[in-house]
Amino acid sequence: MTAMKPPACWSCGGTVDADGLFCASCGALQPPVLGDFFARFGLTPGFAVDVAALERRYFELQRRMHPDRFAARLPKEREYSLQHAANVNEALQTLRSPVRRAEYLLALLGKAMRSSGEETVDDEEVLVHALEMREELADAMTRAAVEAVAATARAEADQVTAELAAAFARNDLTAAGRLTLRLKYLDKFLDDARERRGRLAA
Ligand SMILES: [Zn+2]
Protein backbone atom coordinates (compact mmCIF):
# COMPACT_ATOMS: atom_id res chain seq x y z
CA MET A 1 0.00 0.00 0.00
CA THR A 2 1.51 3.34 -1.00
CA ALA A 3 1.11 6.24 1.38
CA MET A 4 -1.33 8.81 0.11
CA LYS A 5 -0.12 12.37 -0.24
CA PRO A 6 -1.53 14.28 2.74
CA PRO A 7 -4.16 16.86 1.76
CA ALA A 8 -3.41 20.57 2.03
CA CYS A 9 -3.96 22.31 5.37
CA TRP A 10 -7.64 23.19 5.91
CA SER A 11 -6.62 26.51 7.48
CA CYS A 12 -3.88 27.95 5.24
CA GLY A 13 -3.63 25.54 2.30
CA GLY A 14 -0.02 24.75 3.23
CA THR A 15 1.71 21.38 3.39
CA VAL A 16 0.74 18.97 6.16
CA ASP A 17 3.39 17.00 8.09
CA ALA A 18 4.07 13.44 6.90
CA ASP A 19 2.09 11.93 9.82
CA GLY A 20 -0.91 14.05 8.78
CA LEU A 21 -1.39 15.66 12.18
CA PHE A 22 -0.18 19.24 11.92
CA CYS A 23 0.36 21.83 9.19
CA ALA A 24 4.07 22.47 8.59
CA SER A 25 3.32 26.10 7.65
CA CYS A 26 0.80 27.42 10.19
CA GLY A 27 0.90 24.64 12.82
CA ALA A 28 -2.87 24.04 12.69
CA LEU A 29 -4.09 20.64 13.86
CA GLN A 30 -5.60 18.69 10.96
CA PRO A 31 -8.87 16.71 11.03
CA PRO A 32 -8.42 13.00 11.82
CA VAL A 33 -8.30 10.72 8.80
CA LEU A 34 -10.46 7.72 9.62
CA GLY A 35 -8.31 4.88 8.39
CA ASP A 36 -8.32 1.49 10.10
CA PHE A 37 -7.24 1.19 13.74
CA PHE A 38 -3.71 0.19 12.74
CA ALA A 39 -3.29 3.25 10.51
CA ARG A 40 -4.22 5.51 13.45
CA PHE A 41 -0.94 4.39 15.03
CA GLY A 42 1.01 4.45 11.79
CA LEU A 43 1.03 0.65 11.65
CA THR A 44 0.38 -1.79 8.81
CA PRO A 45 -2.45 -4.23 9.68
CA GLY A 46 -1.08 -7.43 11.21
CA PHE A 47 -1.44 -9.56 14.34
CA ALA A 48 2.15 -9.00 15.48
CA VAL A 49 1.85 -5.79 17.48
CA ASP A 50 4.36 -4.57 20.04
CA VAL A 51 1.88 -3.59 22.75
CA ALA A 52 4.46 -1.62 24.77
CA ALA A 53 5.37 0.43 21.67
CA LEU A 54 1.66 0.83 20.89
CA GLU A 55 1.00 2.23 24.37
CA ARG A 56 3.99 4.60 24.13
CA ARG A 57 2.67 5.91 20.81
CA TYR A 58 -0.80 6.22 22.35
CA PHE A 59 0.46 8.37 25.24
CA GLU A 60 2.52 10.47 22.86
CA LEU A 61 -0.54 11.11 20.68
CA GLN A 62 -2.76 11.82 23.69
CA ARG A 63 -0.20 14.33 24.92
CA ARG A 64 0.06 16.07 21.54
CA MET A 65 -3.74 16.06 21.15
CA HIS A 66 -4.59 17.16 24.68
CA PRO A 67 -7.48 19.69 24.52
CA ASP A 68 -5.60 22.05 26.91
CA ARG A 69 -3.00 22.58 24.21
CA PHE A 70 -5.69 23.97 21.94
CA ALA A 71 -7.42 26.25 24.45
CA ALA A 72 -6.08 29.35 22.71
CA ARG A 73 -6.33 27.92 19.18
CA LEU A 74 -9.17 27.97 16.67
CA PRO A 75 -12.43 26.25 17.74
CA LYS A 76 -12.03 23.85 14.84
CA GLU A 77 -8.66 22.69 16.20
CA ARG A 78 -10.16 22.13 19.65
CA GLU A 79 -12.86 20.03 18.02
CA TYR A 80 -10.28 18.03 16.03
CA SER A 81 -8.18 17.45 19.15
CA LEU A 82 -11.16 15.81 20.86
CA GLN A 83 -11.85 13.66 17.79
CA HIS A 84 -8.20 12.58 17.58
CA ALA A 85 -8.17 11.66 21.27
CA ALA A 86 -11.36 9.60 20.93
CA ASN A 87 -10.06 7.86 17.79
CA VAL A 88 -6.76 6.69 19.22
CA ASN A 89 -8.49 5.63 22.43
CA GLU A 90 -10.94 3.47 20.48
CA ALA A 91 -8.10 1.98 18.42
CA LEU A 92 -5.97 1.25 21.49
CA GLN A 93 -8.78 -0.61 23.28
CA THR A 94 -9.12 -2.95 20.32
CA LEU A 95 -5.48 -3.42 19.39
CA ARG A 96 -3.99 -4.12 22.80
CA SER A 97 -6.22 -7.14 23.45
CA PRO A 98 -5.07 -10.18 21.40
CA VAL A 99 -8.65 -11.46 21.04
CA ARG A 100 -10.12 -8.14 19.96
CA ARG A 101 -7.14 -7.46 17.69
CA ALA A 102 -7.58 -10.88 16.03
CA GLU A 103 -11.34 -10.35 15.55
CA TYR A 104 -10.78 -6.89 14.13
CA LEU A 105 -8.04 -8.13 11.81
CA LEU A 106 -10.21 -11.01 10.57
CA ALA A 107 -13.00 -8.54 9.79
CA LEU A 108 -10.53 -6.23 8.07
CA LEU A 109 -9.21 -9.12 5.98
CA GLY A 110 -12.73 -10.06 4.99
CA LYS A 111 -13.34 -13.00 7.25
CA ALA A 112 -15.66 -11.68 9.93
CA MET A 113 -16.44 -13.99 12.82
CA ARG A 114 -19.98 -15.27 12.94
CA SER A 115 -22.21 -13.11 15.10
CA SER A 116 -21.70 -13.90 18.78
CA GLY A 117 -24.91 -15.92 19.15
CA GLU A 118 -23.83 -18.59 16.66
CA GLU A 119 -20.19 -18.87 17.64
CA THR A 120 -19.38 -22.47 18.35
CA VAL A 121 -16.28 -24.55 18.81
CA ASP A 122 -16.84 -27.46 16.42
CA ASP A 123 -13.67 -29.34 17.36
CA GLU A 124 -14.86 -32.06 19.75
CA GLU A 125 -11.50 -32.48 21.46
CA VAL A 126 -11.37 -28.74 22.21
CA LEU A 127 -14.94 -28.83 23.46
CA VAL A 128 -14.38 -31.78 25.81
CA HIS A 129 -11.24 -30.11 27.14
CA ALA A 130 -13.15 -26.85 27.77
CA LEU A 131 -15.85 -28.73 29.70
CA GLU A 132 -13.21 -30.48 31.81
CA MET A 133 -11.67 -27.14 32.70
CA ARG A 134 -15.12 -25.83 33.68
CA GLU A 135 -15.56 -28.81 35.99
CA GLU A 136 -12.15 -28.27 37.56
CA LEU A 137 -13.02 -24.64 38.20
CA ALA A 138 -16.39 -25.57 39.72
CA ASP A 139 -14.60 -28.07 42.01
CA ALA A 140 -11.94 -25.60 43.13
CA MET A 141 -12.85 -24.62 46.69
CA THR A 142 -9.83 -22.52 47.69
CA ARG A 143 -8.13 -19.54 46.08
CA ALA A 144 -4.98 -21.63 45.60
CA ALA A 145 -6.98 -24.31 43.78
CA VAL A 146 -8.60 -21.68 41.53
CA GLU A 147 -5.20 -20.13 40.89
CA ALA A 148 -3.80 -23.51 39.81
CA VAL A 149 -6.64 -23.99 37.31
CA ALA A 150 -6.19 -20.41 36.07
CA ALA A 151 -2.43 -20.89 35.63
CA THR A 152 -3.08 -23.84 33.31
CA ALA A 153 -5.59 -21.77 31.33
CA ARG A 154 -3.14 -18.87 31.08
CA ALA A 155 -0.41 -21.14 29.75
CA GLU A 156 -2.88 -22.50 27.22
CA ALA A 157 -3.91 -18.96 26.22
CA ASP A 158 -0.23 -18.07 25.63
CA GLN A 159 0.15 -21.17 23.47
CA VAL A 160 -3.00 -20.37 21.47
CA THR A 161 -1.85 -16.76 21.03
CA ALA A 162 1.47 -18.00 19.59
CA GLU A 163 -0.37 -20.36 17.22
CA LEU A 164 -2.68 -17.50 16.25
CA ALA A 165 0.30 -15.28 15.38
CA ALA A 166 1.72 -18.09 13.23
CA ALA A 167 -1.65 -18.61 11.48
CA PHE A 168 -1.89 -14.89 10.61
CA ALA A 169 1.77 -14.90 9.51
CA ARG A 170 1.06 -17.65 6.94
CA ASN A 171 -2.27 -15.98 6.09
CA ASP A 172 -4.32 -19.02 7.13
CA LEU A 173 -7.50 -17.18 8.08
CA THR A 174 -9.52 -20.36 8.67
CA ALA A 175 -7.08 -21.49 11.36
CA ALA A 176 -6.89 -17.93 12.69
CA GLY A 177 -10.68 -17.83 13.05
CA ARG A 178 -10.72 -21.14 14.93
CA LEU A 179 -7.87 -20.09 17.24
CA THR A 180 -9.50 -16.71 17.91
CA LEU A 181 -12.60 -18.51 19.10
CA ARG A 182 -10.51 -20.70 21.43
CA LEU A 183 -8.72 -17.67 22.81
CA LYS A 184 -12.06 -15.99 23.40
CA TYR A 185 -13.24 -18.99 25.43
CA LEU A 186 -10.01 -18.97 27.44
CA ASP A 187 -10.33 -15.22 28.13
CA LYS A 188 -13.88 -15.74 29.36
CA PHE A 189 -12.74 -18.68 31.47
CA LEU A 190 -9.99 -16.59 33.06
CA ASP A 191 -12.53 -13.84 33.83
CA ASP A 192 -14.75 -16.40 35.52
CA ALA A 193 -11.78 -17.82 37.45
CA ARG A 194 -10.91 -14.32 38.70
CA GLU A 195 -14.48 -13.81 39.79
CA ARG A 196 -14.59 -17.18 41.58
CA ARG A 197 -11.31 -16.51 43.32
CA GLY A 198 -12.68 -13.19 44.57
CA ARG A 199 -15.65 -14.94 46.13
CA LEU A 200 -13.59 -17.54 48.01
CA ALA A 201 -11.85 -17.08 51.33
CA ALA A 202 -8.06 -17.14 51.24
ZN1 LIG B 1 -1.71 25.55 7.67
The per-residue pLDDT for range 36-61, each reduced to its tens digit, is: 999 889 899 999 999 999 999 999 99
- 32 CA to centre of ligand 1 in angstroms: 15
For residue 42, the CA-to-ligand 1 centroid distance in Å is: 22
Q: Are residues 29 and 92 in the same domain?
A: yes
| 3-class SS of residue 143 | helix
Looking at the fold, whether 89 and 1 belong to one and the same domain comes out as yes
Q: For residue 129, tell me if it sits in a domain.
A: yes
**Number of domains into which the chain is organized:** 2
Tell me the whole-structure pTM to 2 decimals: 0.82
Ligand 1 centre to CA of 161 (Å) is 44
Whole-number Å distance, alpha carbon 12 to ligand 1 midpoint, is 4
Q: Tell me: do 85 and 131 sit in the same domain.
A: no
pLDDT tens digits, one per residue of 18-28:
888 999 999 99
Q: Is residue 113 included in any domain, yes or no?
A: no
> What residue spans of the chain are helical by DSSP H?
51-64, 75-95, 98-108, 124-139, 143-169, 173-199
Nearest to 104 by CA among 42, 48, 46: 46
Q: What CATH number should be reported for the domain holding residue 142? A: 1.20.1280.20
Neighbours of 132 (CB within 10 A): 10
1 has a pLDDT exceeding 80: no
